[in-house]
């Protein structure tokens, strides 16, 4: 056990030490404000305060973990051992910056509470993030700092047996539209037909009626391939279905369609199933509650995980709504247009509510790559290298890689050529050294 001496034990301090020490490094941690107890402890220990007690392992603290509320923090970024750091604390500290304060700033998403310009969908964008501005978005810096902290502890306490974690993959498959042509109802089918005619999309019109007349499989219906892949994989897939009402933003199949319900049930036989909350559910608690209830009645079990449409995430409201509905996990924390680490980490973490100053029970699973980002690369080789690059960063700290694909990523559409192979590459990465 690691004993931490500090002058004041706060919710922020308790939260971030347990994330770094216990969840990432596997070290149990406890705290004391009593010097005698600290001196008597004969195992791992460090002091975290403004003044060092003696010659103990010491990290000089930044004030952020002892504050409440928000303030406009002046942050200076430094280069440090092939990565970046901030909250520099001088030469007397055993680490040159306060990794706990810096990690708290990133994991709590402190910067997303501060005034910022949102995009057209009301989202916080990567270009406004500290990580992109200072070129460390591509690194899981929180995990990197944690491992460097572990190395420093090992040097000071060589007899302590540290645990090692393993690299893992958590594949996510988004289903905003289960079928492209099927199960749309009469009015939407007529509308789609007329649209094909007026836009001279005669090839698509031909494909539409081959599918509707059951001569051909719907191009978005890749679920048999998905479940077959699941049968041969040790990584459990998490499939998010959109079941909200048809709107300008969300155009999936009606949950009242028996075939759609049957599809969700069949996928749930092999994979974990979650709720892809509709665009309007993000602003309306009653809509979100209805969608949760509809999904639970479909899968006949309590809903464990959700993900927001368009990866829209307004903090803290979005997460408070999930907590009130007793949804335990969220998979929205990431950027749709950038590969990397929005919260600076490849380890799931509990949401800390900065307004209420409490650690909540909601586990946030950050995602690190969405399939659309790979379309920026023209060649398959470039797509593969971009994927390998992010996996390599995560493997270095034995973290959890969470990529997001879509059901249509595995279709025969030329746009998605090679994505089946890329998905298989992700699954196989768990078995590689």
| Alpha carbons 306 and 327: distance in angstroms, whole number | 7
232 shares a domain with 150: no
Q: What is the pLDDT along the chain (433 residues), one digit of tens a residue?
A: 999 999 999 999 999 999 999 999 999 999 999 999 999 999 999 999 999 999 999 999 999 999 999 998 999 999 999 999 999 988 789 999 999 999 999 999 999 999 899 999 999 999 999 999 999 999 999 999 999 999 999 999 999 999 999 999 999 999 999 998 677 766 676 766 777 677 777 676 657 666 676 777 888 999 999 999 999 999 999 999 999 998 988 888 889 999 999 999 999 999 999 999 999 999 999 999 999 999 999 999 999 999 999 999 999 999 999 999 999 999 999 999 999 999 999 999 999 999 999 999 999 999 999 999 999 999 999 999 999 999 999 999 999 999 999 999 999 999 999 999 999 999 999 987 5
Helix (H) or strand (E) holding 266: helix 258-268
For residue 314, what is the domain's CATH number? 3.20.20.370
189 within domain boundaries: no
Buried/exposed code over 43-64 (b: 16+ C-beta within 10 A; e: otherwise):
ebbbbbbeeeeeeebbbbbbeb
- How many structural domains does the chain have? 2
367 shares a domain with 228: yes
**Residues spanned by the domain of 130:** 2-156
61 within domain boundaries: yes
Three-class DSSP category at 230: helix
96 within domain boundaries: yes
424 shares a domain with 282: yes
| Alpha carbons 98 and 239: distance in angstroms, whole number | 38
310 shares a domain with 376: yes
Dihedral, CA of residue 33, residue 35, residue 39 and residue 40, to nearest 10: -70
Bridge-based pairing of strands 29-32 and 78-80 is unpaired
285-299 vs 258-268: helix crossing angle, rounded to 10: 70
162 within domain boundaries: no
258 within domain boundaries: yes
Dihedral, CA of residue 97, residue 155, residue 138 and residue 369, to nearest 10: -130
293 shares a domain with 391: yes
109 shares a domain with 225: no
398 within domain boundaries: yes
What is the per-residue pLDDT for 208? 66
Dihedral sign of CA atoms 421, 427, 432, 433 in order: positive
232 shares a domain with 147: no
80 shares a domain with 173: no
248 shares a domain with 144: no
| Alpha carbons 41 and 60: distance in angstroms, whole number | 20
Question: 330: Cβ–Cβ under 8 A, 6 or more apart, which residues?
Answer: 305, 306, 307, 308, 319, 322, 351, 362, 363, 364, 365
172 shares a domain with 143: no
409 shares a domain with 270: yes
* DSSP-derived secondary structure letter, 67: -
115 shares a domain with 176: no
């Amino acid at each position: 056990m690691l004993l931490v001496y500090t002058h004041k034990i706060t919710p922020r301090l308790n939260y971030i030490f347990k994330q770094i020490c216990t969840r990432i490094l596997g070290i149990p941690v406890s705290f004391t404000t009593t010097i005698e107890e600290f001196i008597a402890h004969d195992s791992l220990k460090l002091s975290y305060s403004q003044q060092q007690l003696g010659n103990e392992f010491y990290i000089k603290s930044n004030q952020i973990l002892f504050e409440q509320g928000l303030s406009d923090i002046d942050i200076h970024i430094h280069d440090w051992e092939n990565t970046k750091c901030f909250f520099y604390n001088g030469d007397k500290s055993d680490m040159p910056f306060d990794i706990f304060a810096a990690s708290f700033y990133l994991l709590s998403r402190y910067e997303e509470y501060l005034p910022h310009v949102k995009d057209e969908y009301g989202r916080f964008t990567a270009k406004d993030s500290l990580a992109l501005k200072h070129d460390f978005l591509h690194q899981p810096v929180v995990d990197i700092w944690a491992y460097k902290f572990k190395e420093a502890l090992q040097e000071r306490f060589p007899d302590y047996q540290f645990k090692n974690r393993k690299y893992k993959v958590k594949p996510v498959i988004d289903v905003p539209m289960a079928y492209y042509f099927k199960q749309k109802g009469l009015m939407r089918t007529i509308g789609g037909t007329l649209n094909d005619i007026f836009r001279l999309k005669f090839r698509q019109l031909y494909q539409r009626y081959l599918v509707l007349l059951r001569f051909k499989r719907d191009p978005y219906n890749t679920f048999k391939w998905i479940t077959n892949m699941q049968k041969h994989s040790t990584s459990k897939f998490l499939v998010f279905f959109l079941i909200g009402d048809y709107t300008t933003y969300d155009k999936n199949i009606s949950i009242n369609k028996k075939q759609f319900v049957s599809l969700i049930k069949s996928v749930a036989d092999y994979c974990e199933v979650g709720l892809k909350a509709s665009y309007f559910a993000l602003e309306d608690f009653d809509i979100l509650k209805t969608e949760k209830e509809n999904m639970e009645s479909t899968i006949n079990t309590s809903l464990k995980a959700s993900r927001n449409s368009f990866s829209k995430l307004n903090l803290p409201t979005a997460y408070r709504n999930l907590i009130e509905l007793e949804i335990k996990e969220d998979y929205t924390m990431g950027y749709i247009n950038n590969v990397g680490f929005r919260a600076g980490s490849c380890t799931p973490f509990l949401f800390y509510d900065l307004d209420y100053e409490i650690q909540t029970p909601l586990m946030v699973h950050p995602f690190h790559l969405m399939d659309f980002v790979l379309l920026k690369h023209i060649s398959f080789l470039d797509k593969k290298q971009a994927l390998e690059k992010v996996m390599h960063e995560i493997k270095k700290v034995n973290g959890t890689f969470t990529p997001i694909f879509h059901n249509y990523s595995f279709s025969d559409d030329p746009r998605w050529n090679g994505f089946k192979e890329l998905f298989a590459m992700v699954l196989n990465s768990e078995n590689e050294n």
